Amino acid sequence: MPNNPAEGLTDIFWEQAQESILVRPVCGSCDKSFFSPQVLCPNCQSDTWEYQKSSGEGTIYSYTVVHRPPDDSFPNPLIIADIELDEGWRMFSWIVKCDPNEFDIGSKVKAHFQNFAGTMLPVFTLSKGDQ
């Protein structure tokens, strides 16, 4: 087996997700958050990053609505969004428990975890203004 430096990069992310905890890589050299996990920090190429817990709070950077999901196990409509977390990193996820007419780019969202096919996935719901 070749020695693959990327092997196991996402293990901690998924272990934490199963406990409903959202984490992201934070660089020990430049202090930037990034995603997805990579061998080297995409900002400064340091390999000294570590996972830290995220607030899970962010805004919708972009999204698309899929009206015919791959199969019945998916939410319908399936809202796939590029979420910008408050710590300055972005991830693709789903927006759940809302109608596509209830939000727009820039709407505030909060991470939750949802069991999908036996794996806890980070998904997002709209943040309510009174929180």
Tell me the CA distances in angstroms from 61 to 25, 30, 37, 83, 105, one per residue in order.
20, 24, 20, 5, 6
> Is residue 112 within 8 Å of residue 95, measured between CB atoms?
no
Single out the residue of 41, 60, 83, 95 in contact with Zn ion (rule: CB under 5 A): 41
Tell me the CA distances in angstroms from 56 to 17, 91, 112, one per residue in order.
12, 11, 8
In the complex with Zn ion, the residue whose CB is nearer, 42 or 69, is: 42
Using CB under 5 A as the binding rule, whether residue 52 contacts Zn ion is answered as no
From the CB of 45, what's the least distance to Zn ion, in Å?
A: 7
In the complex with Zn ion, the residue whose CB is nearer, 41 or 81, is: 41
In the complex with Zn ion, the residue whose CB is nearer, 40 or 66, is: 40
Pattern 95-114, Zn ion, x by CB under 5 A: --------------------
Pattern 20-39, Zn ion, x by CB under 5 A: -------x-xx---------
> Closest Cα to residue 119, out of 12, 19, 7?
19
Judged by the rule CB under 5 A, the positions of this chain that interact with Zn ion are: 27, 29-30, 41, 43-44, 46
